[in-house]
Amino acid sequence: MILLTLFVMAQQPAAQRRAIVYTTAESTTFRLTATDTLTFTPSEPTSEGKIYVFVDPRKTFQPFIGIGGALTDAAAETFAKLPAARQDELLTAYYSTDRGIGYTLGRTNIHSCDFSSESYTYVDEGDKDLKSFSIAHDLRYRIPLIRRAMAASGNKLKLFASPWSPPAFMKDNNDMLHGGHLRPEYARAWARYFAKFVESYRKEGVPVWGITIQNEPMATQTWESCVFQASDERDFLKNHLGPVMAQEGLLGKVHIIVWDHNRDLIIQRALAIFEDSAAAKYAWGIGFHWYEDWSGGQQMYGNVALVSRLYPGKHILFTEGTPATFDSTGYGRWSLGEAYGRSMINDFNSGTEGWTDWNILLDEHGGPNHVGNFCFAPIHADTRTGTLIYTNSYYYIGHFSKFIRPGARRILASPSRSMLLTTAFVNRDGKVVVVVMNPTAKGGPYNLTVGAVSVEINARPHSIQTVVF
């Protein structure tokens, strides 16, 4: 259908093809604003003195699953403090396709994480048989928020869940915090814990689309954390989690995602798991975060591209990113949004199929968070006044999520100057979506060229634009 639509489009005279340009730009009031409607004209001879973005819808790459954010305890507790009108506003802002930015992915935590008000599990301490298993804690805030988000999305929201740590008694440090390792004798019980979580959420009307094995498995944190070396995760998957999910009839219905940590070590993790056929058969794909620059280096997009080339049969999903430590004076900081734009463009161009932000909502302190690990979200709530504060991150994400819809395919898009970053997709209805970001202080025109036709667009300084035609 996409190819047929593109063929029909190609037969249209250039004058009948119009491009709508949506812009978000620093030092302007433009926020996902339709700033131009332009008409394609026959392309002039290419000039080295001009700037181009070349697009070819005939060259297609990976499919697109969706974009979304995490529905954590912190988000849910903050949401519950808002007046009803602001709750409705937030759900519309994220999950409506016409009045919002059309989120279709969500992540949540399996029992507590740092963005919970306290540490907790779903079982009594020492209950290796899981007889006390209960998700009653989540019924107060988190599950009601997830249900409403799913309804607001038209029940199109794909939810995946991640654990930050097994219960303390299952670990060799007897602590949910500060790293530690899963004790081998509890591996089967921990695998059954995943299945019970999925089944319990489904009974509450919340289908779980996927699970990751361990959030950030190479990090020892002051909050909930657990270290899985590559061989540990591989063996847990093939000997315990995979077989348990199959035994419970969940394999295939619930996608198992490995790694769920930074791009820096993603190659080793992919090699360890995907090269082992007994483990690989249970793995739907691999997830990653963007925090590898903690060491002072740059983000390593090329590692994701290498995984995509090595394992084209496995899916790649961005599972978490947040741009900075919280600062209440920094809501207007333009670098927040640019961090998203830069990562999303590079990650999609590296083969990523879906992209999930961290918390959808936090309070005026960047929490709640039981270890003081406060951060930014695209939208904050001031719970003292009941108001919502939109950072430019919300609009930068929206330049992708609002226009690129599930089922789209990435197509060729390439800039002729390094000042511009770009990616492009074609939706199922044949609409082409080109995202162009200018992270520099210098503006100017560029020619968006599609075959024999082109249109000239002005790139404002520190801006992101989505062109739809």
**Which residues are known catalytic residues?**
216, 320
Is residue 317 within 8 Å of residue 349, measured between CB atoms?
A: no
Determine the Cα–Cα distance for residues 97 and 154; give it in Å rounded to an integer.
10
Query: In terms of DSSP bridges, do strands 315-320 and 421-426 run parallel, antiparallel, or are they unpaired?
Result: unpaired
Largest CA distance in the chain: 74
Exposure b/e, 238-258, CB count within 10 A at least 16 = b:
bebbbebbeebebbeebbbbb
Is residue 366 within 8 Å of residue 389, measured between CB atoms?
A: no
Distances in whole angstroms, Cα of residue 425 to Cα of each of 33, 68, 354: 20, 17, 13
What's the residue count for the chain? 469
Determine the Cα–Cα distance for residues 70 and 452; give it in Å rounded to an integer.
42
Distance between start and end Cα atoms, the chain: 17
Sheet hosting strand 387-390, strand order edge to edge: 361-362, 379-382, 387-390
Distances in whole angstroms, Cα of residue 88 to Cα of each of 84, 99, 145, 163, 320: 6, 12, 11, 29, 25
Residue type at 115 in one-letter notation:
F
User: How many Å is the Cα radius of gyration of the chain?
Assistant: 22
- Residue 32 phi/psi, 5° resolution? 55, 40
Determine the Cα–Cα distance for residues 257 and 252; give it in Å rounded to an integer.
12
Helix (H/G/I), strand (E/B), else coil: 231: helix
Is residue 101 within 8 Å of residue 466, measured between CB atoms?
A: no
Give the single-character DSSP code of 249. T
Is residue 291 within 8 Å of residue 39, measured between CB atoms?
A: no
Return the bridge partners of 107, or none: 70, 160
Determine the Cα–Cα distance for residues 397 and 402; give it in Å rounded to an integer.
8
- Residue 411 phi/psi, 5° resolution? -125, 170
Determine the Cα–Cα distance for residues 330 and 375; give it in Å rounded to an integer.
11
